[in-house]
Amino acid sequence: MTTIARSSHTTSLHDGEIVEESDLGSMRRVTADNLPILKGLSIKRVLLNPGAMRTPHWHANANELTYCVSGTALVSILDDGSTFSTFVITAGQMFHAASGSLHHIENIGDDTAEFIIAFRNERPEDFGLGATFGAFSDAVLGNTYDLPASDFATIHRTTRDHKLAARVGNPDIPRAPTSKTPTSSTSKPRPPDSTTSAATPASPATSSGRRSRTSRCTRYGSPKAVCANRIGIPSPPRWAMCSTATPG
């Protein structure tokens, strides 16, 4: 029987290091720790069962390019300059998340969703939003959101990052645009909902100089907390493209 010697150039992603594994799905990775030849590059395989999500997180030292092998997923990204986008990807599509951008991936289909993720670092660092909230006191979070500290005391928080989580209720899927062509700078803004007056003025600042909690978007008249949901997002955005597309 012929024995094939293992090369320093090869390894198996299916048998890679387990990052997290449960009934919600699994995450395995290959980094320089288990494939030392890697320089400035690593890879991860993520499986999300129906109703599961990769919780919001960011990478401090690596850009990310995620390819959807199968399934349908909702992706949200808070990018540079606090630019927020949310969109749906399917098999054969990919998206880019810059280093430091907060993002999440959520399976909104009926089948397991599979993703292959490439990182521009041989040892990418993960920072989870849940663990971040767990690290700060009720007072800090209360001051950040202009809310009483007691509002956060009832929320169970730890510094342990849960990378996979189950969705409760139906997914919050953005409304599909009428065209897949990105909106140009000359396009007219989306009119406000019929239930909301576009002329609703912004709330005045409080005596402490902070905006009140009911401050509203001056463009759509909606509370700022939900204003992002009213912004039309082109589909796909600039960082999501079909892998079968040819250069234009």
Domains of the chain: 17-127 (2.60.120.10)
Q: Determine the pLDDT at residue 3.
A: 62
Structure confidence by residue, pLDDT tens digits, 48-59: 999 999 999 999
Cα angle vertex 154, ends 151, 156, to 5°? 125
* Mean pLDDT of the 111-129 span: 97
Q: Determine the pLDDT at residue 12.
A: 95
CA–CA gap between residue 146 and residue 212 (Å, rounded)? 8
CA–CA gap between residue 68 and residue 117 (Å, rounded)? 9
Secondary structure class of 57 (helix, strand, coil): strand
**Is it the case that residue 238 has pLDDT exceeding 80?**
no
- Hey, what are 190's tokens? 């989306």
Dihedral Cα 143, 102, 105, 46, nearest 10 deg? -120
Contacts of 230 by beta carbon, 8 Å cutoff, 6+ apart: 190, 192, 193, 217, 220, 222
Structure confidence by residue, pLDDT tens digits, 175-220: 764 333 444 444 455 555 544 444 444 444 444 444 444 444 444 3
- 8 Å CB contact between 75 and 64: no
- Hey, what are 166's tokens? 């189950």
* Mean pLDDT of the 152-176 span: 91
Q: Determine the pLDDT at residue 80.
A: 84
- 8 Å CB contact between 177 and 65: no
168 or 208: whose pLDDT is higher? 168
